[in-house]
Structure 1
Amino acid sequence: MSEQIPAAVQRALTAIDEQDNDAFVAAFAADGYVDDWGRQFRGHDRIRSWSENELIGKQATFTDTEVSTPGNPLTIVTQVGGAGYNGPSHFTFDIENDQITSMTITA
């Protein structure tokens, strides 16, 4: 599967696995954003705060991750666990210049 995942997305997924918020934020472009079910968090500071409260700060885990739509944008489906949301989710990533420009989370 990793050959289907662009390097920027793989860096973000590895950061989640390692619970490394700095590395997660670094995978994004400076003006990149997270769209969490319609709530948008743009720029490194807001992405960091979102992750501290919703993702890495909640010890999120991703298991059974599969690419459901290859390419750019790329969509993965994964089982989210941890101290926050638990359940299946789709994450769609747009990538430009080896950085994530957006990550959109849906059901």
Structure 2
Amino acid sequence: MTAPEPLPIPVAAALEAAGAGNTEDFLAAFAADGAVDDWGRVFRGHDAIREWSDAEFIGKQVTLRVTGTRTEDATTTVSAVVGGNGFNGPSDFAFTVAGNRITLMRITG
């Protein structure tokens, strides 16, 4: 059995920050004009991402149990079981990375 490939540093940092409830470190993983696409609702820039996260992600004490990862070109998709006080269930998080920052985190089923 082969070990999974390591996650890109900003993706690993964002996941770790979310699990620790650390909004500042979560935001630091994103480019200044980065975005979160939560099932078609797009939140662009750190202020908008913070508002979304406070209401629906870190602010809901999100937990993520990673069940798989895959990388294709600049996009790494993390499959996880989401827990906490908001949405609960399986989701995919597709992270697009440029340089050392996330430019897009797209959440799908």
State the Cα distance separating 1:66 from its structure 2 match. Answer: 1.6
Tell me how far apart the structure 2 counterparts of residues 3 and 73 of structure 1 sit (CA, whole Å): 13
Determine if the alignment matches structure 1 residue 51 to structure 2 residue 58: no
Structure 2: gaps of 5 or more residues: none
Relative distance call for 1:96 and 1:86 in structure 2 (3 A) is same
Q: Is the 8 A contact 1:58 1:83 kept in 2?
A: yes
Q: Is the 8 A contact 2:13 2:25 kept in 1?
A: yes
SS of 1:47's partner is helix
Tell me how far apart the structure 2 counterparts of residues 65 and 9 of structure 1 sit (CA, whole Å): 15
SS of 1:70's partner is strand
Relative distance call for 1:22 and 1:2 in structure 2 (3 A) is farther
Alignment of 1:21-100 (within 5 A): 21-67=23-69, 69-71=70-72, 72-100=74-102
TM-score by length of 2: 0.92
RMSD (Å) for aligned C-alpha atoms? 1.3
What is the number of residues matched between the two proteins? 106
Matched AA of 2:97: I
Structure 1: gaps of 5 or more residues: none
Determine which structure has more spread, i.e. the larger CA radius of gyration. 2
Identity across aligned pairs (percent)? 49
SS of 1:29's partner is strand
- 2:17 match: 15
Runs of 4+ with >4 A deviation: none
